[in-house]
Structure 1
Amino acid sequence: MSDNDVQQLLKLSKQLLDAVDHKDWNTYTNLCDEELTSFEPESQGHLITGMDFHRFYFEMNPTGRPRQSTISSPMVSVMGDVALITYVRIVQAIDEHGHASSSSFEETRIWEKQDGDWQHVHFHRSLIS
């Protein structure tokens, strides 16, 4: 595993989170495989396959309120053309009354090298209680 791969995967993961925070569907779909799979709180324990489930959250409630994600304590493992990244994601947001809040999630993301480029193929996100 090269340091270059680690840095590139962390950069791509941050771009992915920025796309989610800014509801940038074009960037998100460029980084993700069309058959992206996921387990996340919104799916209530069900495995989600494909992009339609995620598109709903990009299109709903376009409030324009600021939000940002920080990757904390990342661990990266590269196994050939597959990479596993785990970290705690801290999300800071401003509500409609101007009050700041933070929430944290444990995230695992799997990237696969396809035609020379890393594509996001699976994630698991859990709310930290």
Structure 2
Amino acid sequence: MSDNDVQQLLILSKQLLDAVDHKDWNTYTDLCDEELTAFEPEARGHLITGMDFHRFYFEMNPTGRPRQSTISSPMVSIMGDVALVTYVRIVQAIDDHGHDSSAAAEETRIWQKQDGDWQHVHFHRSIIS
């Protein structure tokens, strides 16, 4: 496991979260495998496959509210052409009335090296209550 790969995976993970926060579908799809799989609270316990489920949150539910994600306590494990990135994601947001809020989730992101580039292939997100 090289320090270069670890840093690159942390940078890619942050770029992915920034794409979600800014509803940047083009960057999100560039970073994700088109067969991306996910377990997330919005799916209510179901495994989601592909990008259509995620597209809704980018295109069908636009919002101009400021939002920012911070990666806290990251851990990176690289196993050949597959990498596991785990962290706590802290999301700060401002609502329509100017009130701020923060939420946290535990996230696991799996990246796979495809044609020399890391692609996001699976994630699991759990809300911290």
Per the normalisation by structure 1, the TM-score is 0.99
State the Cα distance separating 1:61 from its structure 2 match: 2.9
* Structure 1 equivalent of residue 123 of structure 2: 123
* Structure 2 equivalent of residue 103 of structure 1: 103
State the Cα distance separating 1:59 from its structure 2 match: 1.2
Deviations 1:96-118 (A, max 9, x none): 10000000000000000000000
State the Cα distance separating 1:63 from its structure 2 match: 2.1
**Cα distance in 2 for residues equivalent to 1:61 and 1:20:** 12
**Cα distance in 2 for residues equivalent to 1:98 and 1:41:** 26
- Number of residue pairs the alignment of both structures matches: 129
Pair 1:79-2:79 in alignment: yes
State the Cα distance separating 1:29 from its structure 2 match: 0.1
**Cα distance in 2 for residues equivalent to 1:34 and 1:7:** 24
* Structure 2 equivalent of residue 23 of structure 1: 23
**Cα distance in 2 for residues equivalent to 1:18 and 1:71:** 11
State the Cα distance separating 1:13 from its structure 2 match: 0.1
* Structure 1 equivalent of residue 45 of structure 2: 45
Give the partner amino acid of 1:75: M
- Structure 1 gaps, min length 5: none
**Cα distance in 2 for residues equivalent to 1:5 and 1:63:** 34
Matched residues, percent identical? 89
> The residue matched to 2:53 in structure 1 has which SS?
helix
**Cα distance in 1 for residues equivalent to 2:63 and 2:50:** 25
* Structure 1 equivalent of residue 13 of structure 2: 13
Per the normalisation by structure 2, the TM-score is 0.99
**Cα distance in 1 for residues equivalent to 2:16 and 2:84:** 15
Give the partner amino acid of 1:110: I
**Cα distance in 1 for residues equivalent to 2:98 and 2:127:** 23
- Structure 2 gaps, min length 5: none
RMSD (Å), alpha carbons: 0.5
